[in-house]
Amino acid sequence: MKISLPQLNPRERFLVIVTLATIVCGSLYVTVAEPLWLELSGLYSEINESDETLSNYRGLLAHRDEILARASSLQKRTHASGEEDEEQRGLLTEIENLARKARMDLADLKPERTERLEFYELMGVRLSADGTPNQLAQFLHEMRQSNLLLRVDWLRVDAGADNRRIKATMKVVRILNTSEDL
């Protein structure tokens, strides 16, 4: 049954018109206004982020000389640290070779921080080794004869699991010359 708008009483006509107007306004809001609003708010937030980034870059540009000085300082320190790492590797390799030559079993090698003194540096390695007393004596002798200027800073000897073997824990130090005058 089809009823036209003029056939409805005034109250029903008013309700139909208000309902149609609400549906049209709601659909316009959902299809047009809300997407535009979201797009505009997204653009505004993007503009604000760009402004913040620009102000950060301007601040960095104002401190350009300080940043470059710090970067070159860090680069020099990193380069020096790389040389120190290479010397540390050489020290560890030398200790491993000397232990192999004396037939000592190395259980643990731990590099320690380099200690800087007035005219030289001490590069240390803490190590644990197992062997007979003769092997330990040969290992200590080989370290003393090494070209790397090695010295044993301290030594602790404990009885091993076997009566014929001992466990030695020690700190081996390499002396590095850092003086330009020498």
- For 16-68, the pLDDT digits (tens) are 899 999 999 999 999 998 999 999 999 999 999 999 999 988 888 888 888 78
Contact 135, 162 (CB under 8 A): no
Per 3-state DSSP, the chain is made up of helix, strand and coil in percentages (nearest 5) of 60, 25, 15
pTM above 0.75, yes or no: no
Q: Which H or E element spans position 87?
A: helix 64-102
pLDDT digits (tens, 9 = 90+) for 98-153: 888 989 888 888 888 888 777 778 888 999 998 889 999 999 998 888 888 788 88
